[in-house]
Chain A
């Protein structure tokens, strides 16, 4: 199968998409998006859960070490 044949298949399956315009005014959606409260990403959730879980485990396993750390603050 030649490169030109692949290109022809693509041109047939995906005709050019020129000179279209959005079907609605998108500015209100942009403003809404900007004003929306920030979403939590999966990474944010992972970090928060890890910190809370780590702190809880440390509190249970090493209460004295935490008291020692707290006294240094």
Chain B
């Protein structure tokens, strides 16, 4: 995440100063985009979620506690917006196609990759977020707990549940080892 903005800029943001908000947007947009992309794994969808994230931040600016990190606050909002995006996308059959932009196959059998993506997208959005950050991006559990505003133990148990469910779903699809 970029350096913390100065307190005057944050104060102006909380008061609704649009120029202060624009400066904060410019400072954080790329990092927030990359964070969201890690979760939703769809470049175009991630752009929509960035817009949603900054809109939510602007709407909630009065509740921002300036004694806390702006970057961490934004990350929590971005994670929630990304999770809502996954929830909205979940029933759509086109999920596999949208993830193809990033998910260029590296296994010998692209059919297995496709099955893994399908199985993964069947997980509840909350589990998808935790599992993406822990198993795919391999972030430390403490960092995930901060980003999701969850206790460490909840993150660990969510990862465990995600792996159990994935294993079961993959076996059902005939992927065993």
Contact yes or no, A20 B43, CB < 8 A = yes
Count residues of B near A (Cβ-Cβ below 8 Å).
46
Contact assessment for A21 and B106 in the assembled complex, using a CB-CB cutoff below 8 Å: no
Complex CA distance for A14 and B33, rounded to whole angstroms:
17
Taking A22-B29, A26-B29, A34-B58 as contacts, is the C-beta distance between A10 and B120 under 8 angstroms? Answer: yes
A11 to B51, CA, bound (A): 28
Whether the Cβ atoms of B33 and A22 lie closer than 8 Å is: yes
CB of A14 within 8 A of CB of B177, answer no
- Using Cβ atoms and an 8 Å threshold, which residues of chain B touch A20? 33-34, 37, 43
Determine if A23 and B47 form an interchain contact, defined as CB atoms under 8 angstroms apart.
yes
Which residues of B lie under 8 Å from residue A27 when comparing CB positions? 22, 25-26, 29
Residue pairs across A and B with CB atoms within 8 Å: the count is 99
For the complex formed, measure the closest distance between the CB of B104 and the CB atoms of chain A, giving whole angstroms.
7
- Chain A: interface residue count, which band? 20 to 34
| B60 at the binding interface (Cβ < 8 Å) | no
Q: Which residue of chain B is the closest to A27 with respect to CB atoms?
A: B25
Which residue of B is nearest A2, CB measured?
B177
- Tell me whether A15 and B29 are in contact in the complex, defined as CB-CB below 8 angstroms, given that A6-B167, A6-B170, A26-B47 are known contacts: no
Name the one of B25, B113, B135 contacting A7, with C-beta atoms under 8 angstroms: B135
Inter-chain contact B170/A9, CB cutoff 8 Å: yes
Known: A9-B112, A26-B29, A27-B22. A14 touches B55 (CB 8 A): no
Using a CB–CB distance below 8 Å, which chain B residues touch chain A? Answer: 22, 25-26, 29-30, 33-34, 37-38, 41, 43-44, 46-47, 50-52, 54-55, 58, 99, 102-107, 112-114, 116-117, 120, 131-132, 135-137, 163, 166-167, 170-171, 175-177
Binding site for B on A (CB under 8 A): 1-3, 5-7, 9-24, 26-27, 29-30, 33-34
